[in-house]
Amino acid sequence: MDSNYQKFADGFLNAYSWPERKEGPPIELLDVLDADERSRAEDVLIARLSSWRDDWPIIGLGHLRSKKSLPFLKKILRNARGSMKAHIATAIWKISSDPKMLDVVIRCSYPSIFSRLYPFKTFSQIDIIYCLAEFNNARAVNRLKELQNDTDYLVSYNAKRALNQIKASNSNFDNTEM
């Protein structure tokens, strides 16, 4: 039988095809690792960090609350753009609770002046929407409520889903304006 680390390596580290990646990173593979395997996974994810190439290591390190990765994440945050910047800021926030990271993600959620030239703007915006949902606070909720009125159907739809996700995880959430 495969070890939990081997399942992580196969399903998380070595997932390259669309069918393997379409649902996002299988973070549940991180949850079953023992302390030694988690440390090993953390080292491999840090080694794979990039400000532009792949968000899975960033998401994984945020999920692991990897304090060891914090200096590396802060370093690559400076050069990141769009949804990658939002993922990095979200991971930093998960690790350190730095409130400035919400400002970064909110800024990322507004279109840039070059957004018309960027053909995947909608998909990047959807990634940012789910980063906002991770913060689960009033400012993030307010921005998601603004985004649910976006003229792009996919942006609007995913903002509504993210708000419902927050509502499901927080019984004190005020959903009166949805």
Nearest C-alpha neighbor of 106 from the set 76, 138, 58, 74: 138
Q: Which of 65, 87, 105 is the last residue of a domain?
A: 105
Q: Is the pLDDT of residue 178 over 50?
A: no
**pLDDT by residue (tens digit) across 57-91?**
999 999 999 999 999 999 999 999 999 999 999 99
How many structural domains comprise the chain?
Answer: 2
Return the pLDDT at 123: 85
Is residue 1 very low, low, confident or very high in pLDDT (cuts 50, 70, 90)?
very low
Same domain, 95 and 119: no
**pLDDT by residue (tens digit) across 10-43?**
999 999 888 888 889 999 999 999 999 999 999 9
28 contacts 59 by C-beta, under 8 angstroms: no
82 contacts 124 by C-beta, under 8 angstroms: yes
How many helices (H) and strands (E) would you count in the chain? 11, 0
Mean pLDDT of 112-132: 79
Same domain, 88 and 46: yes
Q: Which of 55, 72, 105 is the last residue of a domain?
A: 105
Q: Which of 105, 125, 141 is the last residue of a domain?
A: 105
Return the pLDDT at 176: 43
Same domain, 19 and 93: yes
Same domain, 136 and 95: no
Structural domain including 36 reads: 1-105
Same domain, 9 and 97: yes
In sequence order, the 6+-apart residues with CB closer than 8 A to the CB of 60 are: 12, 25, 27, 30, 41, 45
